[in-house]
Amino acid sequence: MLPRWMRMLGSCAAIAACALAAAGLPAFAAGRATGAAASAADGAPASPRDALRRIVQNECLPHWRETRQPAPCLAVHEDPRDPDSGYALLADRKGGAHFLLIPTRELSGIESPELLARGAGNYFADAWEARGALATAAGHPIADVAVGLAVNSRNARSQDQLHIHIECIQRALREALLAGAEQLTDTWGPIAVPGWQLVGLRVLGATLDGANPFQLLASRLAGAESVMGDYSLLVAGFRFERGPGFVILAGTGPGTERLLDSGCAAPTGVASGAN
C-alpha cells in the first residue's frame, strides 16, 4: 500500500500544481524568499548554494509541524524514533517530471561522513519509494526500469544541501544498460555508456532496503571513501535475468544527473528489460 503522502499526491492533476496551489508560488521561489528573509534577520548573507536547505528547514518543516501541510514541499516524512532520517520531497524548479528528495537534517552532499555512519538512513531507498510522483507528473505510468536517481559530485552540483534527483533515465542510458548490465556483479566494474567513464555494480531485489549506494561506493570501490565528494552516483531500476534489481553507476566526471530525463522520454518497457 502506498504511503499516505503518496496517496495525497495522486489526487493532483500534476505534482508541480500541488506545490503551486499550496504555496501560491513556484516551490523553489517560495523557499528562496523566506530563506533570504530569515538569513537577513540573522544578520548573515544568504548563500545561493544554501537555497534547498532554507526551503526545507525554514518553510516545509515548520509548515508541516504546525499545519500538516508541507508547502512549498510536496511531502515531509519524519520518524520520531529516528529524527535524523527525515526527508522532504520538492518539485524541481525547472519543472517536468523532476523531483528532489532532501534530508531534513543539514548534510552538505555525497561527501558528508554522516552518510557512512553505522545505522545511517538510506536516502536512496526513500527516493525510490517516492518514484510514483513521476507518473503523476507525466500523466502516464512509468515503469521501474525507466526510473533513475542521481546525486552529483561536489563540483558538479549547485547546492550544498544533499539532494537526490528523481527523474526518468535517458534513452541512451537505457540502451547502454540493456547492452551491458547483465555483465555486472556485486563488485564495481566497468560499463560502457557512450561519452562517459563510469563503473557499475548490480543490486538484486525490488527495493534498496539493505543496499545503501553511498556505503556501497565507499566500502567496495578502492580509494573512494577518502574522496567521496569527487564522485557522482546514479541508480537505475533494471530487470535482470535473475529478477528485478538496480544498476548503480559511479564516476568522477560530469554529474550523473545529466543522464536523466525530466520529460520521461525513456521507454516504459523494452525487450527483456521491461518491468
Q: Is the pLDDT of residue 42 over 70?
A: no
Give pLDDT tens digits for 177-186: 999 999 999 9
> What nine digits make up the cell of 72?
512549498
- DSSP per residue, 81-136: T-GGG-EEEEE-TT-SS-EEEEESS---STT-GGGGSTT---HHHHHHHTTHHHHH
Structure-block grid coordinates of residue 122 = 538510506
Please list, in sequence order, all residues whose beta carbon lies within 8 angstroms of the beta carbon of residue 10, skipping any fewer than 6 positions away: 2, 132, 136
Check residue 85 and give its pLDDT: 87
Straight-line distance from the first to the last Cα atom of the chain, in angstroms, rounded to the nearest whole number: 19
Residue-level pLDDT at 84: 85
Query: Can you give the pLDDT at residue 46?
Result: 76
Fold of 4-273: HIT family, subunit A (3.30.428)
Domain borders along the chain are 4-273
CB 250 within 8 A of CB 231: yes
Contacts of 146 (CB under 8 A, 6+ apart): 168, 169, 174, 237, 264, 266, 267, 268
More confident residue, 1 or 180: 180
For residues 242-268, give the mean pLDDT.
89
Is residue 29 helix, strand or coil?
A: helix
**Are 88 and 183 spatial neighbours (Cβ–Cβ below 8 Å)?**
no
Provide the whole-model pTM.
Answer: 0.84
Residue 265 confidence (pLDDT): 63
Whether the pLDDT of residue 19 is over 80: the answer is no
- What is the rounded average pLDDT of the residues 202-214? 97
- Tell me the HSE value of 176 on the side-chain side, using a 13 A CA sphere: 20
